[in-house]
């Protein structure tokens, strides 16, 4: 592979110029493991170690290299190794709050053109989960597409597609069966040469089966879902950039059992454009959509135009985003407090040192 086949373009070439003068070469992160990552370059795939300076300057894990990132490395092809010095600006970034709820960003995939949000048409089908994925997808800057896998296990595919379309807000919805090989042609429009597509979904929705079908051979391990609830077990253990026969690049990710939001209201507005459009018609700009006169949202709920479960999902995700914002602000305040405490302590120590020197 070469840089062009990985998605390199004139914009990236311009962004890389300051690093080229240092003798570094561009590459794209294909896998990550701890502080090391595998980087695809014109010299092949190299095992790269991130510099201490980059790790120190990173604002948490979200500032460290992620799969899909374009990076600047000092390459040592003879050793199959490199040192990773810098990350080029991300044009899109699919992130979630890391497990633990400490307002820490975890980048799932970077520089993605299209996000394929995969849901299973079996016992694990869940409209509210699809809304959550859409909220994150709109925050990422990538274009969302909904893939409904396991159509062969669904008695009424059209009815399920209709349900999803009511929450998709014009996002394309494609039913298919990766196991049977049916409906895959609909995805080819997104799998053009040099384009990057991320495959995201819960464990058990059939992402590994879908990847194998797109590749044309059995590359990914596949495990059966639990019979009682159709939930899956992790078969993919790391994020990885996979070249497809079409020339596109596919980011495979482990199943996301817990998907905490990361971002701002922009993602919520995109995923719930219908609710936001209703809210814009309320009599009062600060309408809380409870019992205010002239509330277009409550009117839509009353006449059935807006589904109550969808509105509750909108409120719940909005509360989650506000809670995330509050945690982020608290984290900033604590970091600033710690910084001033450290500076005050250093100033006191310098004052003591000067006084000791003056007594000599």
Would you kindly state where each structural domain of the chain is located, as residue ranges?
4-87, 93-252, 272-306
Q: Supply the pLDDT for residue 360.
A: 65
Structure tokens at 260: 């905490």
Give the per-residue pLDDT at 101.
67
Rounded average pLDDT per 10-residue block, the chain, 360 residues? 91 95 95 84 94 87 92 95 96 84 83 95 90 92 96 94 94 95 95 94 90 82 49 59 94 75 85 94 91 93 95 93 80 75 82 76
Q: For residue 71, what is the enclosing H or E element?
A: strand 70-76
**pLDDT for position 71:** 97
Architecture of domain 93-252: 3-Layer(aba) Sandwich (3.40)
The residues facing 92 across adjacent strands are none
The predicted pLDDT at position 28 comes to 97
- Whether the CB-CB separation of 339 and 300 falls below 8 Å is answered with no
Architecture of domain 272-306: Orthogonal Bundle (1.10)
Report d(CA 125, CA 162) in Å as an integer: 13
Helix (H, G, I), strand (E, B) or coil at 349: helix
b/e map of 127-152 (b: 16 or more CB within 10 Å)?
bebbbbbbbbbbbbbbbbbbbbbbbe
Estimate the share of the chain in helix, then strand, then coil, as percent rounded to the nearest 5.
Answer: 40, 20, 35
**C-alpha gyration radius of the chain:** 24
Q: Output the pTM of the full model.
A: 0.83
- pLDDT, position 220: 54
pLDDT of residue 227: 46
CA atoms of 279 and 112, how far apart (whole Å): 31
Q: CATH topology for 4-87?
A: OB fold (Dihydrolipoamide Acetyltransferase, E2P) (2.40.50)
């Amino acid at each position: 592979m070469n840089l062009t086949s990985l998605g390199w373009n004139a914009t990236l070439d311009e962004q890389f110029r300051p690093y080229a003068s240092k003798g570094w070469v561009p590459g794209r992160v294909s896998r990550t493991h701890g502080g090391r990552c595998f980087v695809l370059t014109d010299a092949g795939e190299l095992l790269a170690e991130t510099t201490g300076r980059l790790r120190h300057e990173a604002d948490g894990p979200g500032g460290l290299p992620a799969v899909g990132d374009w990076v600047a490395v000092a390459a040592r092809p003879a050793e199959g190794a490199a040192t990773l010095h810098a990350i080029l600006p991300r044009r899109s970034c699919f992130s979630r709050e890391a497990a633990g709820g400490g307002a820490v960003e975890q980048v799932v995939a970077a520089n993605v053109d299209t996000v394929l949000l995969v849901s299973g048409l079996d016992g694990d089908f869940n409209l509210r989960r699809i809304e959550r994925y859409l909220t994150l997808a709109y925050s990422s800057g990538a274009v969302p597409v909904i893939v409904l896998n396991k159509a062969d296990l669904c008695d009424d595919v059209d009815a399920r597609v209709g349900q999803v379309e009511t929450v998709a807000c014009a996002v394309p919805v494609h039913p298919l069966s990766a196991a049977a090989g049916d409906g895959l042609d609909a995805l080819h429009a997104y799998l053009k040469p040099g384009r990057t597509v991320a495959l995201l979904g819960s464990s058990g929705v059939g992402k590994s089966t879908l990847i194998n079908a797109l590749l044309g051979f059995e590359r990914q391990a596949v495990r059966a879902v639990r019979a009682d609830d159709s939930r899956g077990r992790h078969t993919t253990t790391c994020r990885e950039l996979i070249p497809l026969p079409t020339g596109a690049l596919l980011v495979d990710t482990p199943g996301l059992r817990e998907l905490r939001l990361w971002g701002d209201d922009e993602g919520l507005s995109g995923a719930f454009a219908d609710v936001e459009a209703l809210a814009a018609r309320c009599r009062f700009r600060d309408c809380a959509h409870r019992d205010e006169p002239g509330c277009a949202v409550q009117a839509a709920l009353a006449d059935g135009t807006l589904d109550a479960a969808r509105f509750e999902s909108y409120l719940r995700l909005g509360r989650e985003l506000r809670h995330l914002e509050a945690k982020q602000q608290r984290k900033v305040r604590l970091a600033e407090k710690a910084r001033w405490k450290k500076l005050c302590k250093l100033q006191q120590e310098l004052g003591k040192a000067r006084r000791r020197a003056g007594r000599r």
